[in-house]
């Protein structure tokens, strides 16, 4: 997951005394410590005890342990283009420019938001990394780019190697699902700024697309068909509102079994459902069908994201009657007494990705996605308009 652990508050080489000799460390640190360098004495009398980085709450050794636990997972994500190994100052990726006529690099960065609070409360950390990768790579694929590699960043109050390894394992799993390499990253320990059990994560991905194959609003035409791909649930958006209405005002418990979810599923399990990663399926769809645009549904909901791929002379009509959102959306709506407009501008409402395709390729698109195990359906069409999304019809409830 990370090629190294650095610490954002470091002002010099940690773990050294004023006289240049190695400082006294904790018992755990002494057992694992290796003398990686030496410095001459400046002649001053050696002090019996000096303040160490560990005294400030930062453990270099714990970070090294976390990296060691993750090496195998990281290696399994690596594509043939990766150069070198974990531990360098930068991740290296050999781009084969001979594969492309006119390559354009695409980049995206994102986080997971307050879904992390649920993971921390439940002490389950091996799924939020999948969420992180999904948020990044599915933004890349929305312009038609193939994700090549991802870099991660983890900031935490205390580096607990096993916990960091669980987070990193989820990131590595997500990268494998997306077909991109986990090239490197950073783990920073922020004692006194974050609680020992608190952490935040972010990631930056880089992809590549042929310039003449970039997807977007320039390709969308009147008569195109809008295809919806079902989400796995809330994905990673709107969790501040979810926590407010369910765990705050609603006074629900994360370990409560919610009958509507089925399979004796608890509220916490539902809220930690990993975000669906569409990248590989969408890339293959682009090669098989006449795809004009893809819209990744994240913050802003259906109208706020679909509008980003519409030119000014068309509207997209989305018919709510064509699908029923998962029970979690109805639970949030009813518990919070949230109106439909607020729900649709905050949550994905059961759709994680849209594909806008040529009308003659609509059936082929649906058949292809069904063959990949993706629940998809025709949700609407593109008509003449002014660059807006028209939400029509009503969802089936009850």
Q: Provide the CA 37 distance to its chain's centre, in angstroms.
A: 38
Q: Is the dihedral of CA 339, 345, 351, 356 positive or negative?
A: positive
Task: Please tell me whether residue 345 adopts helix, strand or coil conformation.
Answer: helix
- pLDDT of the chain along its 398 residues, tens only? 444 445 444 333 223 233 333 333 334 444 444 555 555 545 455 556 777 777 777 777 777 777 787 778 788 888 998 998 877 788 899 999 899 999 999 999 999 999 999 999 999 999 999 999 999 999 999 999 999 999 999 999 999 999 999 999 999 999 999 999 999 899 999 999 999 999 999 999 999 999 999 999 999 999 999 999 999 999 999 999 999 999 998 899 999 999 989 888 999 999 999 999 999 999 999 999 999 999 999 999 999 999 999 999 999 999 999 999 999 999 999 999 999 999 999 999 999 999 999 999 999 999 999 999 999 999 999 999 999 999 999 998 75
As a whole number of angstroms, the distance between CA 337 and CA 334 comes to 5
Instruction: Go through the domains of the chain in sequence order and give each one's CATH number.
Output: 60-213 (3.30.1330.10), 217-392 (3.90.650.10)
pLDDT of residue 48: 60
pLDDT of residue 56: 75
pLDDT of residue 237: 95
Contact 19, 47 (CB under 8 A): yes
Task: Please tell me whether residue 384 adopts helix, strand or coil conformation.
Answer: strand
Residue with tokens 């949700």: 379
Task: Please tell me whether residue 16 adopts helix, strand or coil conformation.
Answer: strand
Q: Which of 194, 278, 289 is nearest to 229 (CA)?
A: 278
DSSP state, residue 186: E
Helices (DSSP H) in the chain: which residue ranges?
A: 27-32, 60-75, 115-122, 128-141, 161-178, 239-242, 267-271, 279-288, 301-306, 327-336, 340-346, 362-371
> Global pTM?
0.86
Those residues with Cβ within 8 angstroms of residue 262's Cβ, 6 or more apart along the chain or in another chain? none
pLDDT of residue 279: 98
Task: Determine how many CB atoms are found less than 10 A away from the CB of residue 168.
Answer: 28
Contact 227, 354 (CB under 8 A): yes
């Amino acid at each position: 997951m990370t090629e190294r652990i650095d610490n954002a508050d470091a002002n010099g080489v940690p773990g050294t005394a004023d006289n240049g000799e190695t400082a006294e460390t904790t018992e755990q640190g002494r057992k694992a410590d290796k003398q990686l360098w030496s410095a001459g004495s400046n002649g001053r009398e050696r002090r019996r005890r000096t303040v160490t980085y560990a005294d400030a709450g930062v453990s270099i050794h714990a970070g090294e342990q976390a990296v060691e636990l993750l090496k195998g997972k990281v290696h399994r994500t690596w594509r043939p283009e990766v150069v070198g190994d974990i531990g360098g100052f930068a991740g290296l990726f050999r781009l084969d420019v001979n594969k492309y006529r006119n390559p354009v690099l695409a980049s995206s960065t994102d986080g997971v938001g307050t879904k992390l609070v649920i993971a921390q409360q439940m002490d389950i950390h091996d799924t939020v990394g999948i969420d992180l990768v999904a948020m990044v790579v599915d933004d890349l694929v929305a312009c038609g780019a193939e994700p090549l590699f991802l870099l991660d960043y983890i900031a935490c109050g205390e580096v607990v190697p096993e916990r960091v390894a669980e987070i990193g394992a989820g990131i590595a799993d997500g990268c494998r699902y997306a077909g991109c390499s986990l090239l490197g990253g950073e783990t920073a320990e922020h004692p006194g700024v974050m609680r020992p059990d608190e952490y935040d994560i972010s990631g930056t991905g880089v992809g590549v697309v042929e310039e003449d194959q970039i997807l977007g609003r320039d390709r969308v035409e009147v008569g195109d068909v809008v295809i919806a791909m079902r989400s796995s649930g809330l994905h990673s958006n709107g969790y501040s509102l979810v926590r407010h209405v369910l765990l705050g005002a609603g006074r629900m418990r994360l370990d409560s079994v919610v009958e509507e979810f089925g399979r004796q599923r608890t509220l916490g399990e539902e809220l930690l459902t990993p975000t669906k990663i569409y990248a590989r399926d969408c890339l293959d769809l682009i090669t098989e069908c006449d795809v004009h645009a893809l819209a990744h549904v994240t913050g802003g909901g259906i109208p706020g994201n679909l509008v980003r791929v519409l030119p000014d002379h068309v509207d997209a009509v989305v018919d709510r009657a064509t699908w029923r959102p998962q029970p979690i959306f109805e639970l949030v709506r009813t518990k919070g007494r949230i109106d439909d407009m607020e729900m649709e501008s905050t949550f994905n409402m059961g759709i994680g990705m849209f594909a806008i395709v040529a009308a003659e390729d609509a059936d082929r698109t649906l058949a292809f996605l069904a063959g990949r195990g993706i629940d998809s359906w025709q949700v609407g069409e593109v008509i003449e308009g002014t660059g807006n999304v028209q939400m029509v019809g009503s969802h089936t409830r009850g």
